[in-house]
């Protein structure tokens, strides 16, 4: 809702005469809160119902967290704009004043993300990871109600909701590579709706879009889903980009990492880095978790 209101306000900066109505659509991911996302299966847990409304014409545009948008977008729709990215890192919200490294073996940390769980187990073994679902303030409350030492959440959501003072530490990109698209808000429209697409294009941040496209190309090559912990973060440099990516087993080991630094004009950089990880042995993890028949996916457009 914060993101939708934010986009509505930005649209009014394009033309103050715009009237924007918000339509609340609950998705499957919003409704199922007692099961970890990785166990629900399927794609589009936070987008399908909204995309159906776009396709039937009952809404004119949809606002998504880009990390929730599958690489396969329904025919007739596309991401017309991506806003400037908020801080992409993960943060630790502590019950007291301790950082993660100061916690004792056996203490509990809450997260709704299989990726965060796997990277946490890889970097800070000995801690118990507990699944927590719900919106930002609900998950923060569960630190107290569920007797947790703290919780891992996306910095973007914490900052947007005004809870920055609760952050105990920002986790480094090296230790906790962000989810694909984390911190970026995407605006989806009908391809044939030229007027809406033209308006939304005024809000597009070219640098963020380029980096998110590269990350999503990596995800698509890997046949991305929520059952295998994988991560990719592309950051702009003065003379190109740096893409940091990883695939790990849900238990946190083995983990395969790779970094690309160089020109960033082609989103296929994401596929190149995915292939490097596959050559390192990441394919064994994907086959073990998904299926013996797993194969890399062909890549073309991802937005």
Same domain, 12 and 124: no
Is 263 inside a domain boundary? yes
Same domain, 80 and 4: yes
User: DSSP alpha helices (H): ranges in 72-160?
Assistant: 114-123, 136-145, 155-160
- The Cα-based distances of 220 to 125, 187, 230, 269, 271 in angstroms read 30, 19, 11, 12, 8
Rounded CA gap, 108 and 129, in Å? 6
Domain interval for residue 200: 1-84+183-204
Is 302 inside a domain boundary? no
Rounded CA gap, 39 and 25, in Å? 23
Angle formed at CA 127 by CA 123 and CA 131, multiple of 5 degrees: 100
Same domain, 232 and 273: yes
Rounded CA gap, 93 and 152, in Å? 6
Task: Name beta bridge partners: 63.
Answer: 187
Burial class (CB in 10 A: 0-12, 13-18, 19+), 281: exposed
Catalytic residues: 68
Confidence of residue 25 (pLDDT cuts 50, 70, 90): confident
Task: Name beta bridge partners: 151.
Answer: 93, 110
Please compute the mean of the pLDDT values over residues 21-43 and round it to a whole number.
63
Condensed to tens digits (0 to 9), the pLDDT of residues 166-194 reads 999 999 999 899 999 999 999 999 999 99
Among 86, 18, 53, residue whose Cα is nearest residue 188 = 53
Is 50 inside a domain boundary? yes
- The Cα-based distances of 265 to 128, 211, 235 in angstroms read 42, 10, 13
Condensed to tens digits (0 to 9), the pLDDT of residues 53-98 reads 999 999 999 999 999 898 889 999 999 999 999 999 999 999 999 9
pLDDT of 39 > 50? The answer is: no
Q: Look up the CATH number of the domain holding residue 62.
A: 3.40.190.10
| pTM more than 0.75 | yes
Same domain, 191 and 214: no
Q: Into how many domains does the chain fold?
A: 3
Q: Look up the CATH number of the domain holding residue 282.
A: 3.30.160.40
């Amino acid at each position: 809702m914060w993101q939708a209101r934010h986009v509505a306000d930005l649209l009014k900066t394009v033309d103050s005469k715009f009237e924007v109505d918000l339509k609340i659509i609950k998705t499957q991911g919003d409704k199922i809160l007692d099961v970890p996302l990785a166990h629900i299966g399927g794609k589009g847990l936070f987008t399908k119902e909204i995309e159906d409304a776009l396709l039937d014409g009952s809404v004119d545009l949809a606002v998504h967290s880009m990390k929730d948008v599958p690489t396969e977008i329904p025919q007739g729709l596309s991401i017309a704009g991506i806003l400037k990215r908020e801080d992409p890192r993960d943060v630790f919200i502590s019950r007291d004043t301790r950082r993660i490294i100061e916690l004792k073996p056996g203490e509990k940390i809450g997260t709704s993300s299989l990726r965060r769980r796997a990277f946490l187990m890889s970097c800070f073994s000995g801690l118990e990871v507990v699944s927590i679902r719900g919106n930002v303030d609900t998950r923060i409350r569960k630190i107290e109600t569920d007797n947790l030492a703290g919780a891992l959440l996306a910095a973007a959501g914490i900052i947007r909701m005004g809870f920055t003072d609760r952050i105990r530490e920002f986790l480094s990109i090296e230790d906790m590579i962000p989810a694909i698209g984390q911190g970026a808000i995407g605006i989806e429209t009908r391809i044939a709706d030229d007027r809406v697409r033209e308006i939304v294009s005024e809000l597009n941040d070219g640098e963020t879009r380029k980096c998110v496209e590269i990350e999503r190309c990596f995800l698509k090559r890997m046949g991305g889903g929520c059952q295998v912990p994988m991560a990719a973060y592309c950051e702009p440099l003065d003379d190109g980009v740096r893409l940091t990516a990883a695939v790990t087993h849900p238990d946190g080991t083995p983990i395969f990492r790779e970094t690309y630094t160089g020109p960033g004009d082609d989103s296929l950089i994401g596929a190149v880095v995915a292939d490097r990880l596959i050559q390192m042995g990441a394919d064994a993890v994907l086959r073990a978790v998904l299926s013996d028949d797993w194969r890399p996916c062909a890549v073309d457009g991802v937005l």
